[in-house]
Structure 1
């Protein structure tokens, strides 16, 4: 018998891109809990951000994936992650020539107020977004050619940049896909449904058993993925949590899971 788990991005997917509202998905989340289908949050958010949000969503008993696969937040949260990996990212940045380094401005260089203004988060939440353990998100203000040189220089130190819905995030290459099978196995899940909207979701969309690209009118759509034509990956018409709910209910119904 198949046991399904859901792995989902947050911003622009389960959460509305502009308002961070998730309530249109509340009925579906309640039905998933009743059916015993775990929902694994997989986000660029930090452990400090995901913990309270996971509690609000009623998912505190399920591990979550933080910082784009940089780490896993265990059920119940509370643990303070080792910050050594983030320190290595910052050291690699500091070692770049000034002309390459200058166009990238990371969260660690910003005040809480600046992060709040950039993200639209309240300052309390913005402080949590700055509480990094694995990766460094930021904004790139330079030319495209300079960005390529920036990426090459960081790559020599093992640091990779990943484009999300809003930010360029620097880290050591772990992805949501790297973590989702690990978390699913810990839950006894045999089949995975993944949902996302941004380039940093593509790996998990491509390796899950079924997947959905959730519409996000605030950013360019993802290019066609290999398995869309075959029907393994679908796209929603509705954005954010409304589209999320439609995709989850349709795909699980097709898989014979009663919600």
Structure 2
């Protein structure tokens, strides 16, 4: 009989496992090695595309586990590298073009830019920017208008079935699905003994609240998340250090707490 999976870790990327400014993850190497040593699963969960996550997952040596892509709009299977360009993405883009111009011009999506312009906006290298534009389900972008304009923008899109999630950097539009939905589906498949999730942004909240231990990773580039369900009883923890440094410390401390290091 196969030994049960001891720990499954779900982690956001930008601002969490990956540094907000440098896009590096090596500060979390110690904790990643500790997780590998106990054969824990690490599931990447991000607004990034399957092409982006497939490349990063391979770099991290995590190809054997699924990944949650495009803010929970899809799942990348183990050892997969890409998702086919989907009708959902085309439909989101079509819905955008139905909006009044005064609202439409307030949203600058990835599909509105060249790869070079995306490099300028994000700081990504050109090959990574091109991978970020290989979208199948959702459209992230910059919001350039007021709060009231955003409310009107989202109301118009909702008439087409399009909803939005606010991440650490971008507002992402899709036809639904979130990280927590896909997390629960993956947990049901693998049945781990313990579940851990790490994130830094509003689109991570449901994921953090649907595991045994949720870790809010500090991100000085955005306002702190509000007090979350389960935080008072110690189910939700917060790091003092930002990005992969905080990720590393929190995971090692939690493995100690679970006597699994």
Which TM-score bucket, shorter chain as reference? over 0.9
Q: Distance in 1 between matches of 2:5 and 2:110?
A: 41
Task: Give, in angstroms, the shift of residue 205 of structure 1.
Answer: 0.5
**Conservation of the 8 A alpha-carbon contact between 1:83 and 1:134:** yes
In the alignment, what sits opposite 1:213?
A: 216
Q: Does 1:155 align with 2:148?
A: no
Contact persistence 1:6–1:37 (CA under 8 A): yes
Higher mean displacement: 87-96 or 146-155: 87-96
Which of 94, 115, 128 is the aligned partner of 2:131? 128
Gaps of at least 5 residues in structure 2 are: none
Equivalent residue number for residue 12 of structure 1: 15
Q: Which residue of 2 aligns with 1:98?
A: 101
Partner of 2:145: 142
Conservation of the 8 A alpha-carbon contact between 1:25 and 1:242: yes
Matched, 1:185 2:192: no
Do the aligned partners of residues 132 and 79 (structure 1) sit closer, same or farther apart at CA in structure 2, a change above 3 Å counting?
closer
Partner residue in 2 for 1:200: 203
1:33 is the counterpart of 2:28? no
* Aligned residue-pair number: 258
The match for 1:247 among 239, 250, 253 is: 250
Q: Deviations over 1:137-165 (max 9, x none)?
A: 01111111111000101111111111111
- TM alignment of 1:54-65, pairs within 5 A: 54-65=57-68
Report the secondary structure of 1:226's partner residue: coil
**Alignment gaps of 5+ in structure 1:** none
Pairing 1:166–2:166 present: no
Any idea what SS the aligned residue of 2:238 has? Answer: strand
1:107 to 2:110 alignment? yes
Bigger drift between 244-253 and 163-172 goes to: 244-253
Q: Work out the CA distance in 1 between the residues paired with 2:79 and 2:210.
A: 27
- SS of the residue corresponding to residue 227 of structure 1 reads coil
Contact 1:69/1:176, CA 8 A, preserved across alignment:
yes
1:79-104 residue CA offsets vs partner (Å, 9 max, x unmatched): 43351111111111111122221211
Cα distance in 1 between the residues matched to 2:78 and 2:5 = 23
Q: How far is 1:217 from its partner? A: 1.0
Does 2:96 align with 1:87?
A: no
Measured in 2, the distance between the counterparts of 1:203 and 1:63 equals 19
Q: Is the 8 A contact 1:154 1:160 kept in 2?
A: yes
From 46, 60, 81, give the equivalent of 1:43.
Answer: 46
Deviation at 1:3, TM superposition (A): 2.6
Pair 1:117-2:120 in alignment: yes
